[in-house]
Amino acid sequence: MNNNKSASTPHYQPEIKPRRMAFDTQPPARKYTFRDNSLVSTFFYALSALFPDGERFFIHSVRHYREQILDPELQQQIKGFIGQEAHHGVSHEQLNRAIESLGFPMSKITGAMLKRIEFLKTLSHSRQLALTVAMEHFTASLAEFLLKNPDILDDVDPTIRQMLIWHAVEEIEHKAVAFDVYRRCVNNEFMRKRVMVIAMVSLFSRLAWYQVQMLWADRHWPSLREWREAWRFFWGKRGILRDNMKGLAKFFRTGFHPWDIDQQALIENWQQRFPDVAALQR
Ligand SMILES: [Fe+2]
Ligand SMILES: [Fe+2]
């Protein structure tokens, strides 16, 4: 394997710096903190349920290859990636407890997620890493949307808003780490694309199922207003998933690299754009 030399063309690479954050641990004041919309709110709660064990799985899948990486720069990036994902997991666990106190079955959902992860760990190391590459692309696209459209978080609970902004910045900073490890140690373009298709089908069905469980626990049936707003929020002109699909399409290009999508401007000046989030750094 061409391990000592960079297998990709030079690209922008920010410093990957894990930040310790002091988030408030209080539950959101409103049960459905995203515009009082249960469909939008539970989508983000379901994502938060996926994060802790999901991100620990990402770390696990990269660690399999860590010793094969001889490039000290990439080694340093792996270290930053592991530190960032570990912090994300801990913060989202804290948030999940706060969401649980609103009456949502977060422990049950994260328990089911953990079982899924145990299964994923039985797959080949290369497939596990391809799955991480796919999920990292998804989170970086979501992060881009949030940092480009932070106004959608304006009326959201401040802790959730701050956590999402911080998480988004770090997801973009480390978006190419698992990818670069994959390219150097596995480098199977067909598997990368095929696993992305499976990952997206599995992710969206899992998210929807978790949302159903949350709404069922609350005995809440979304109103017509909520369905309409949610449709616009996800698939409208400035819809979050519609935007995500554009990033997804790029992933299927042979030879694609995460930094082919220029997100540099979104993370370079984040501390000025989000001073309240920057102030939470310890
Ligand atoms: Fe993360
Ligand atoms: Fe990540």
Backbone angles phi, psi at 140, to 5 degrees: -65, -35
* Residue type at 107 in one-letter notation: S
d(CA 251, CA 23): 33
CA of 75 to the centre of ligand 1 (A): 18
Ligand positioned closest to the Cα atom of 139: 2
d(CA 2, CA 259): 20
Question: Can you give the pLDDT of all 282 residues of the chain as single tens digits?
Answer: 444 444 455 688 999 999 999 999 899 999 999 999 999 999 999 999 999 999 999 999 999 999 999 999 999 999 999 999 999 999 999 999 999 999 999 999 999 999 999 999 999 999 999 999 999 999 999 999 999 999 999 999 999 999 999 999 999 999 999 999 999 999 999 999 999 999 999 999 999 999 999 999 999 999 999 999 999 999 999 999 999 999 999 999 999 999 999 999 999 999 999 999 999 998
Q: Which residues pair with 281 in a beta bridge?
A: 21
CA of 128 to the centre of ligand 2 (A): 14
- Cβ-Cβ contacts under 8 Å for 280 (sequence gap 6 or more): 21, 22, 23, 162, 166
CA of 4 to the centre of ligand 1 (A): 27
Quote the pLDDT of residue 4.
40
- Cβ-Cβ contacts under 8 Å for 225 (sequence gap 6 or more): none
CA of 19 to the centre of ligand 1 (A): 12
Quote the pLDDT of residue 12.
87
Quote the pLDDT of residue 2.
43
Ligand positioned closest to the Cα atom of 50: 1
Ligand positioned closest to the Cα atom of 62: 2
CA of 55 to the centre of ligand 1 (A): 6
Owner of token pair 């997804």: 248
CA of 63 to the centre of ligand 1 (A): 16
* CA-closest candidate to residue 153, choices 165, 141, 144: 165
Ligand positioned closest to the Cα atom of 88: 1
